Amino acid sequence: MPDRNESGPLHGRVVAVTGGGRGLGRSIALAAAAAGADVAIAYRESEAGAKSVADEARSLGAEADVHRCDVTDRDQVFAFVAAAEQRFGRVDGLVNNAGIMPETPFLETTPQEWDRVIATDLTAAFHASQAVLPGMLERGSGSIVSIASRLGQVGWPGVAHYASAKAGLIALAKSISREFGQRGVRANCVAPGVTNTDMGRTVMEGEVGRKRMAELPLGRFGEPEEVADCVVFLLSDASALLIGQTLNPNSGGLMP
């Protein structure tokens, strides 16, 4: 097993990632491990994927734990954070990554679907942030990074619930930062454009994706590893002056 990355920007830290068993969450967990962190990985359905991510993280020299967690259940979220704190002694960084994006015309969206998306994509971040904050405040340091979306900044037909939840994450990060910034806790967001994950490929491979590609100044979509690099930056001391901010790795699809 290779030595831990003792010069990495997250050396000696503990990072908890929700939705870490696949897609963007997988890349984030592995990027954190490569940067020197130990990782706690929460998953809901992809147990085999989460265990595979943990094995890869260990091969990088990190310690890794895996926990099944339905992020819409507050008790399960608090149990995940408590288990990570018990295993590693603390949680220095939280990545609110878990999310879903069903596509339904607005007038056909049921209250049940709306509630499910808001619970998964926004309220879960509220639960997780409340769970990690006491420990962070006690130590006087911590970084919370939530995965928002370009669609949370511009809105989009057919995904009003998703876009609304992602916009809420941006406001949540600003609010946490204003309340706790002077006590050493920073909260920020990363708002990717279309990214080459399972969710992103449903867009990339269709007519909408071809049209979107033609509009991108960079001329290509993003890779999950590139988004993960932004997350690691926000978790690290290199971003010490960034608080309540949103990074936009979107190939130029939105230039706020």
Cα separation, 108 vs 158, whole angstroms? 9
Residue 5 reports pLDDT greater than 70: no
143 secondary structure, DSSP code: E
Q: Which residues are catalytic?
A: 162
Cβ contact 237:186 at 8 Å: no
Per-residue pLDDT at 2: 46
Place of tokens 């130590």: 139
Three-class DSSP category at 71: coil
Mean pLDDT computed over 226-230: 97
Strands 93-96 and 246-247 turn out to be: unpaired
pTM reported for the whole predicted model: 0.94
Where residue 6 falls among pLDDT bands split at 50, 70, 90?
Answer: confident
Cβ contact 166:149 at 8 Å: yes
pLDDT per residue over 113-127, tens digit each? 999 999 999 999 999
Per-residue pLDDT at 1: 38
pLDDT per residue over 125-137, tens digit each? 999 999 999 999 9
Per-residue pLDDT at 201: 64
Helices (H), 35-123: 47-59, 74-88, 111-118
Please name each of the domains of the chain with its CATH number.
14-192+224-247 (3.40.50.720)
Per-residue pLDDT at 205: 67
Residue 107 has, within 13 A of its CA and on its CB side, a CA count of 0
Where residue 102 falls among pLDDT bands split at 50, 70, 90?
Answer: very high
Tell me which H or E stretch contains 16.
strand 14-17
Cα separation, 162 vs 204, whole angstroms? 18
Q: Which residues of 102-130 are buried (b: 16+ CB within 10 A; e: fewer)?
A: eebeeeebeeeebeebbbbbbbbbbbbbe
Q: For the chain, what percent of residues have pLDDT higher than 70?
A: 93
